[in-house]
Amino acid sequence: MKKYDKELKRLIRARTKNFPRALALGLQWVSLGYSSALYFAGKKIGKEVISNEIKTKDIKEILKQTSKIFSSMGIGTLSTKSINRKQAVLILKNGTTANGMAKIGKTVCYFEAGLISGILEGKLKKTFNVSETRCGGLGDSMEEFVVNL
Ligand SMILES: [Zn+2]
């Protein structure tokens, strides 16, 4: 049995109140395309819904407002670790999808990465690649996303 199957079964049997994680792991279980499905769903929502609520074109301010929206949606506490011309590194603490999960050897927060990408694209009118470099699924205590600027 694969590690993510095991984690999914543990999650369900323990009646854990974590629907987002069950969704992410369930998609991994049934489909090879789960990562892009979650990423593109997040990206579409970020671009077409959330970015319309943000009224600035300053990237630092966009990230600040994104953090407020993430908090109010219960996604977790998002902060900017560093930002320069080439990339921004974002940290998500208490992320709803992966915080406290078993180490399954994979990243799982594709939806969140897609949201960040879509919000930035919606505001700044260019494509942003967002990859997750630390994750509860890898055994990390937080999520880390690298945004190529
Ligand atoms: Zn993660």
Query: How many Å lie between the centroid of ligand 1 and the Cα of residue 126?
Result: 24
* Angstrom distance (rounded) from CA 22 to CA 29: 10
Query: How many Å lie between the centroid of ligand 1 and the Cα of residue 54?
Result: 24
Per the structure, how many domains does the chain have? 1
- CATH code, domain carrying 80: 3.30.1380.20
**Sole residue written with tokens 């009224």:** 55
Residue 77 lies inside a defined structural domain of this protein = yes
Residue 3 lies inside a defined structural domain of this protein = no
Residue 22 lies inside a defined structural domain of this protein = no
Residue 134 lies inside a defined structural domain of this protein = yes
Residue 15 lies inside a defined structural domain of this protein = no
Full residue range of the structural domain in which residue 86 is found: 35-148
pLDDT per position in the chain (149 positions), as tens? 688 888 888 888 888 888 888 888 888 888 878 888 999 999 999 999 999 999 999 999 999 999 999 999 999 999 999 999 999 999 999 999 999 899 999 999 999 999 999 999 999 999 999 999 999 999 999 999 999 99
What is the bridge-based pairing of β-strands 143-148 and 129-134? antiparallel
Query: How many Å lie between the centroid of ligand 1 and the Cα of residue 108?
Result: 5
Query: How many Å lie between the centroid of ligand 1 and the Cα of residue 132?
Result: 7
Residue 1 lies inside a defined structural domain of this protein = no
Query: How many Å lie between the centroid of ligand 1 and the Cα of residue 148?
Result: 18
Letter for the amino acid at 27? L
Q: Is 87 helix (H, G, I), strand (E, B) or coil?
A: strand
Residue 24 lies inside a defined structural domain of this protein = no
Residue 18 lies inside a defined structural domain of this protein = no
User: For the whole model, what pTM was predicted?
Assistant: 0.92
